[in-house]
C-alpha cells in the first residue's frame, strides 16, 4: 500500500534557527496536510494544501510557518525562528483515506 514518507525522523535545532520538514505524499493525491502533536497532547491541524496553494490554515499556522511543494513531489513545512514551544511531532498526511506519515520529531534546544 502506498505510504507517506517523512524526513528526517528526528530533528534537533537551536532556538531561533530555521527548520524544514519534508514529506513525500502518495503520488496522484492532490490534498496534503500538516499536523502537529505536542508531547502528550492531541493531534492539531496546521494547514491544508491543494493545487499548489494553502486551502485552509489554523490559528497555529502564523507567519512563522510556510509550506510549499518545491518540485512536484516533495511537500515541505518551514518553521522560521524556532521557539521552544515548537517542539513537537509533525505529521504530514495525504487524503482519502487519510494516510499519515510516521512523523518528524522536532526538538528545539
**Using CB under 8 A as the criterion, which residues of the chain lie in contact with other proteins when the complex forms?**
31, 33, 35, 42-45, 48, 50, 56, 89, 91, 93, 95-103, 105
Q: How far is the CB of 19 from other proteins (least distance, A)?
A: 19
10 Å Cβ neighbour count for 96? 9
103 within 8 A of 93, measured Cβ to Cβ:
no
What span, in angstroms and rounded, lies between the C-alpha atoms of 11 and 61? 19
Q: How far is the CB of 72 from other proteins (least distance, A)?
A: 20
Q: Measured from the CB atom, is 52 or 96 closer to other proteins?
A: 96
Amino acid at each position: 500500500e502506498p505510504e507517506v514518507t517523512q524526513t528526517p525522523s528526528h530533528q534537533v535545532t537551536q532556538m531561533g534557527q530555521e527548520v524544514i520538514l519534508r514529506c513525500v505524499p502518495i503520488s496522484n493525491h492532490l490534498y496534503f496536510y500538516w499536523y502537529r502533536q505536542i508531547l502528550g497532547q492531541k493531534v492539531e491541524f496546521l494547514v491544508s494544501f491543494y493545487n499548489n496553494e494553502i486551502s485552509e490554515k489554523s490559528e497555529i499556522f502564523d507567519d512563522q510557518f510556510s509550506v510549499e511543494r518545491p518540485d512536484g513531489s516533495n511537500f515541505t513545512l518551514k518553521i522560521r525562528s524556532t521557539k521552544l514551544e515548537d517542539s513537537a511531532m509533525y505529521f504530514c498526511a495525504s487524503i482519502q483515506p487519510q494516510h499519515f506519515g510516521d512523523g518528524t520529531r522536532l526538538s528545539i534546544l
